[in-house]
Amino acid sequence: MNDASHCDACGGVDVRTPAAPDNPAGLSRIGYRSGEYQDFSLSMTARLSSAKYGALGTLTSRELDDFTLALIDAWSASCDVLTFYNEMWLNEAYINTAIETATLHELATLIDYVPHPGVAATVDLAFTVAEGEGIPEQLTVPAGTKIQSTPGQDEKPVIYETLSDLPVRAAWNAIRPTLTAPHPLTATTTRIPLPGSSLNLKPGDAVFFVGDGGNQVFATINKVTIVLADIARDPEAIDLTWIDISPLATAPLSAMSLSGTVAVSTAFSAGTPSSNKVPLASKVDSYKGETLAAQELSELLAVEQEKEKAFFSPFIALAKPTRAVQVFRTKAAIFGHAAPPLDSLHYSLTGTFPVFDKNTSGVIVEDVASGPYAGLTKTSWADKGTLQLMDDGNASQIYLERPMSDIAKGSTVVLLDGDKWLTSEVTDNTELAAAFFTVTGKSARLALDSRLYFSQFSIRGTSVFGASEWLTIADPPLVEPLDQTAISVALNGWYPGLEAGRTVILKGEAEGMGAEPVVAKKVVQSVSHSLEEQGGTTLTFTEPIGASYLPQSLRIYANVADATQGESVVEVMDDGSATPHLALVSKQAPQTFVPAATASGVKSTMDIRVNKILWHPVPHFLNASPTDRVYTQRIDEEGYSHITFGDGVNGAMPGKGQQNIRASYRKTLGLEGRVKAGQLNLLMSQPLGVQAVKNLLDAEGGADPESRDHIRVSAPLSCRTLGRVVSLTDYADFSLSYGGIAKATSQWLHINGRQQVVVTVAAEEGAQVPEGGDLHTALSEALAVAGDPFVRFMLRSFRHRFFRLGIRLKVHADYLREEVVVDAEAALWAKLSFAARHFGQPVFASEVIAILHDVQGVEAVVVERLYSGNIPTRNDGLAAPMAEINAGEVVGATILSLGSIDYLEASL
């Protein structure tokens, strides 16, 4: 039977307060209320009938409008409020149950733990410097230069400032690697590049050049190919005309003398200085062929008292293209080359014939006469005759089949007969009527500089090439990609002033990487200058370039400055006074903290000056003397800085004065500073000569101030590490408490025959911690300082692997399907996203089913897809490997999180 009274006659006879607390371990909240309103009301009402309080026995009324019951009701409400706040206060006394951020900060202070104030994001900015008359060759972008971002959708503008002075030059805006290579010229060369696209060359024309070995070559053009430059892709590219040629295998009967022609001499130095090249000063000439390091160059210029531009100008002149080919755009045969063969002429022309006369006796033979060509042989005719036959008076003249006005006096012609050829200079060109070998017509009579070899050129077989012009040979563009394992890049010219330690950014297309440019930050390890005709500056980096960049697309940005999120402010904090432990609070928040190789991973940007003298921060005053100008700094839960000075015994007190305590610092930090590449493009400051700025890479790092949940985890960790890294777990604990790190794990791995610690980290919101980045470098240095010097460790960024789901649900008929599906999707993202996953944590179909069954209204779940990659399939589970050696490389541990949901349907 049910023991409860249905008439309520026995109600209010039990005493329920005070209730004993019952708090098993592991609770997120402590229950410590001795009772609630109903408990207090019933307990006090019950005590009205208690024998302990006999005087109250005469009070028999239990009506709520009775004054005594109204008083009990008021005290029940008061006790309910008091016990509520008593329980809240007690929960605030424990770090795992406290919910007030201020409380957690105070609790952390008890164990000397400082909640992380957050950290500013960092970025590398590439400045564009103007060039022109009146602008100095080298300028300086001062520290503190402000740049603002162009916000995207639902974003706020973010301000960054440079950290240090940066020397910049216009020449360093976008340095290009070596773009061309000298085209080889030999007797077997079959292709030659020429600059331009309107050269008016055609098949059948000819070229003459001197090969790299000094041999003179003549060739006819077989094909002309014009390659137009892609100006949109490369504004500095030029059009090229490629000519395919067939060179003769024979040398000229007489080599051309190159000393008398400027164009020829500039084209074919072959190791001999050209007459029009800039002469090297003797002191510069002595360094020709040497390779100087950046420091050596600086010392040399100082000793020689020479400017960089003046020193390099002779080498720049030497490096200009000087090789050329001589093209011949016209071709003509010798006059009379088409004359009829001698043996085809009528006998009256080549033999004798009778001369008739008429008298009274009739027609008689008066005489026998010889024809005009009688006695001639083929060697004295066009059949086998040579140019000597037509050279009247040994005047070194030849006759062409037609007038040739485009053959100028002083130009060069080439006589070609079979494999015999000869160059000659034209001393005169006369148009006249010629008659040779029964042929008459207009002709061009060329007077040449010599008739020495006329006897070797036949009339019928000789062709004359003329209308010559010298054209510079273009150095063809390099098309082979750079070696991705190379650590050096040769530049397109000389770039003095670049020094080791400078940060540069490489950007360009790479082989096998598609059309999207590859961008990478590198640090220059050394700089060398090759003082040769085809020399230049070579940059050597601290690591391989990492991609097979295409030379024509690669740009090296050397005007790169480190910058961090935050805007500088200066404020008057207060008047100085001889007050022990004078405490002041900054007026703006949150204060910016920047990455640093410290135990916390950050350092403050605040400077405190009293009477314009800089004071220094300390963690406490225990070791401070009465004269030490020091102060302590504490960041509260809202990001304001609390500054406390000494008491004159431990640490000096600030001197008296009006508005003499001033602070300079930067404000704003956190994840909002993670701008995308290209967003930082607005110059808030305008340094001299700086035209533009942009960030070629995404900003990295950045973390919001430590949250309540994170303090609960990190504060106890500080007691485990005590600022030192000794055990295996210390590496993970130390990293997890470092600014900007959201997740960390550590493990032993057998590498190169010995055990090493591999630390895997992930940044806030699942961002990578790239090797060589500011956060990676600072954390590595901090671990090395705090760790065992005899233990080797590796710091690796995590591998983020995503999986996809396809799910069908059965929804209870009483629930709205659309709302259940929305709730189910939210539950999946909450439990399977990056924030909820751990290193090495696998995912199972059963886990997905369990998550969805916790959603109100879901009756049944079918997981049809659970896969990683591009091929939809259904797996029972997916693994997430820890750190391992993959293809000879140590890779970090894996976090497996939900990437996307193919479909989530309520269709069962």
d(CA 472, CA 359): 78
Q: Which residue has the higher pLDDT, 367 or 492?
A: 492
Is 230 a member of any domain?
yes
Please check whether residue 97 lies inside any domain of the structure.
Answer: no
% of the chain with per-residue pLDDT over 90: 54
Cα separation of 422 and 741, whole Å?
79
User: How far is the C-alpha of 128 from the C-alpha of 696, rounded, in Å?
Assistant: 12
Residue located via tokens 């005009």: 372
Percent of the chain with pLDDT over 70: 94
Q: Residue 601's pLDDT is what?
A: 81
771-787 pLDDT per residue, tens: 888 888 889 988 998 88
| pLDDT, position 12 | 53
CA distance 57 to 622: 66
Look at residue 882 in the predicted model and tell me its pLDDT. Answer: 95
One domain for residues 70 and 123: no
In terms of DSSP H, where are the helices of 650-773?
708-721, 728-736
- Please give the distance of CA 85 from its chain centroid, rounded to a whole number: 56
Average pLDDT over residues 451-461: 91
Q: Is the pTM of this model over 0.85?
A: no
Question: How sure is the predictor about 125, in pLDDT bands with cuts at 50, 70 and 90?
Answer: very high
CA proximity to 458, closest of 437, 475, 478: 437
Q: Is residue 626 part of a domain?
A: yes
- Give the residue from 660, 670, 655, 685 showing the smallest Cα distance to 571: 660
CB within 8 A of 310, min separation 6: which ones?
none
SS (H, E, C) 824-888: HHHHHHHHHCHHHCCCCCCEEHHHHHHHHHCCCCEEEEEEEEEECCCCCCECCEECCCCCEEECC
Q: What is the mean pLDDT of residues 519-541?
A: 91
My answer on whether 334 and 468 are in the same domain is yes
What tokens were used for 400? 């062409």
Contacts of 268 (CB under 8 A, 6+ apart): 209, 210, 214, 258, 323, 324
Same domain (yes/no): 336, 446 = yes
CA–CA gap between residue 190 and residue 243 (Å, rounded) = 8
**Is the separation of the CB atoms in 429 and 410 below 8 Å?**
no
**What's residue 72's pLDDT?**
87
Burial 229-258 (b: 16+ CB within 10 A, else e): eeeeeeeebebbbebebebbeeebeeebeb
| Domain C-terminal end among 472, 493, 510 | 472
SS3 56: helix
Same domain, 195 and 310: yes
In a domain, 711, yes or no: no
pLDDT of residue 8: 47
Question: Confidence class of residue 279 from pLDDT cuts 50, 70 and 90?
Answer: very low
**Rounded to an integer, what distance in angstroms lies between the CA atom of residue 180 and that of residue 536?**
12
Compute the C-alpha angle 539/541/546, nearest 5°.
115
Range with lowest mean pLDDT among 18-22, 294-298, 756-760, 822-826:
18-22
Asked, for residue 550, whether it belongs to a domain, the answer is: no
Rounded CA-CA distance 744/762 in Å is: 6
Measure CA 370 to chain center. 92
Among 273-277, 538-542, 807-811, which is the least confidently predicted range? 273-277
Q: Does residue 828 carry a pLDDT above 90?
A: yes
pLDDT in tens, 189-224: 999 999 999 999 999 999 999 988 888 999 999 999
* DSSP letter, residue 791: S
Judgement on whether residues 756 and 834 belong to the same structural domain of the protein? no
pLDDT mean over 829-854: 94
| pLDDT for residue 122 | 92
21 and 2 assigned to the same domain: yes
Q: Is residue 464 part of a domain?
A: yes
CA distances for 402 relative to 390, 660, 710, angstroms: 15, 99, 96
> Tokens representing 659?
């508005």
Q: How far is CA 200 from the centre of its chain?
A: 42
Please give the DSSP secondary-structure letter assigned to residue 642.
E
On whether residue 691 sits in a domain, the answer given is yes
311 and 203 co-located in one domain: yes
pLDDT digits (tens, 9 = 90+) for 19-72: 888 888 878 888 888 888 988 888 888 887 777 776 676 777 777 778 888 898
The C-alpha atoms of residue 422 and residue 256 are separated, in whole angstroms, by 8
Which residue segment(s) compose the domain that 728 sits in? 723-797
pLDDT for 268 beyond 50: no
Question: Is 554 within a domain?
Answer: no
- Looking up tokens 């190791």 gives 271
What would the mean pLDDT of 854-875 be, rounded to a whole number?
94
Residue 373, pLDDT score: 81
Q: Summarize the confidence of residues 144-148 as an average pLDDT.
A: 95
**Is pLDDT of 768 > 50?**
yes
> 887 with 816, same domain?
yes
Q: Is 280 or 647 the better-scoring residue by pLDDT?
A: 647
Q: Are 456 and 334 members of one domain?
A: yes
Is residue 487 pLDDT above 60, yes or no?
A: yes
Q: Is 465 found in the same domain as 340?
A: yes
Average pLDDT, the chain: 87
Q: How many domains does the chain have?
A: 7
Lowest mean pLDDT among 361-365, 626-630, 697-701: 361-365
pLDDT (0 to 100) of residue 225: 95
Asked if residue 313 and residue 300 are part of one domain, the reply reads: yes
Taking the mean position of all CA atoms in its chain, how far away is CA 671?
A: 22
- The string of pLDDT tens digits covering residues 340-399 is 998 888 877 877 777 777 777 777 667 777 778 888 888 889 889 899 888 877 889 999
Whether 2 has a pLDDT exceeding 70, the answer reads no
The answer to whether residues 805 and 897 belong to one domain is yes
Confidence bin at 237 (pLDDT 50/70/90): confident
